[in-house]
Structures are given as C-alpha cells and as structure tokens.
Amino acid sequence: MQRTDNYQIQAGQAKQKFLTYDQQALIRKLNLAYDDVYLYPVLFRQTYRLHRKTGNLERKVGETWADANTFSEVMTMLDLICDSREDRFLTGTFRNMASFGLMFHTNLLEDSRDPWAELFQENPEGLRKACQALEGRPLPNGDIAYAIEIFDGLEIALQFWFADEDFPPSLRFLWDENALMYIRYETMHYAKGLLLDMLKQRM
C-alpha cells in the first residue's frame, strides 16, 4: 500500500510542477492543440487532454474521455511536455536503451529471464498485430521489430527474438541517440512500461 501511495504522491508532484510552467510557452514549443480549459497532447498515437488548472489527465476513447491518471501516463506525458528541450532534434539512429543508463541499470535490464519475452514467444502474431494497432513502423533487425512513436516524432524501437536451443526469447528496446533531449532516462522506463501494457491490452 505504501508503494502505491508513493506513486500517487510522485504523480501529484509532477502535476503541481506542470502548473508552474508558462503554458503558452509549452504550446509554442510543442505546437499543441488547446482551448481555454485543456491542452490536447498525443501519446502513443492516442489523443489526451490535460486540464490546465489541475493537471488532470484523460485519454480519448471513441467519443468519450477516460481517466488516464496512471503513474506511467502522468509521468511520461508531463516529462515530455515540461522538460523536453527547445532545441531537441532526432538523429534517426537508434541506441540500446541500456546504454543510456549506468552499469547498475544495465545489469537490471539484462536479466536472463524476461516474462514479457516469454509472453510474446507464446503469441507472436498477437505482438505483431498489437504493434500494428499502435501504427508501429516495421524494422529489419529482430524476428519481430517495430518502431512506435511516443510523442512529437520520438520513437521507441522494440526488437524481439524467438528462443532457440541455446537462448531464451529476448526483448530489447532502443531509442534515438538524442532521446535525452526529449525525456529523462528514468522516464524511459515509465514509457517502456506503458508501451508494454498497451501491447498486452491489444494482444
């Protein structure tokens, strides 16, 4: 229970931080759609609305709006909106996600058993269809590989390899070399988790 409360506290702090920013500057920086009440950013090809006075986040589902105040959605969205750099640009060259962090984090990312890879091994066609549902762009490297846009042109690449007699199934994530101009390293993990949840929902 304490862990959940800590997540809620951190998300609440991110919302309060958002309220301190010049919203007109954020609108100009990201060319956001807006009205007097909401900003309308797009995350993983889905339209959201962000309340300009509270930081409350909702996701468009059909013709209605659904609550989107999950920890991963709030932290990913507000980091991208508030802290992406004015001079950001993409190189088009991907780097392994592990290479952005310290060695400690690298070791955590390279666990020999990956439950997500095992899930995708069991349902590879479901993974393909889920990536396509998120308008993923096929990539050449990997048994299944797609680049999926997160926000403002920034993509996360997913590479999956089937198991063989020597190795278990494996899953790797890559980001543009300039990803840190858009998003903090720790927020990469929130965005990756959000993507995995979205893929699972669509499988």
The one-letter code for the residue type at 44 is: F
Instruction: Kindly state the average pLDDT of the residues 61-69.
Output: 95
pTM across the whole model? 0.87
Give the model's pLDDT for residue 2: 52
CA–CA separation, 162 and 144 (whole Å): 9
CB 111 within 8 A of CB 162: no
Residue 107 DSSP one-character state:
H
Averaged confidence pLDDT in the chain: 91
Provide the 3-class DSSP secondary structure of residue 43.
strand
Following DSSP, what letter does each residue of 132-192 receive, concatenated? HHTTPEE-SSSSEEEEEEEETTEEEEEEEE---SSS--EEEEEEETTGGGTS-HHHHHHHH
More confident residue, 6 or 29: 29
pLDDT, tens only, 77-123: 999 999 999 999 999 999 999 888 754 444 444 446 789 999 999 99
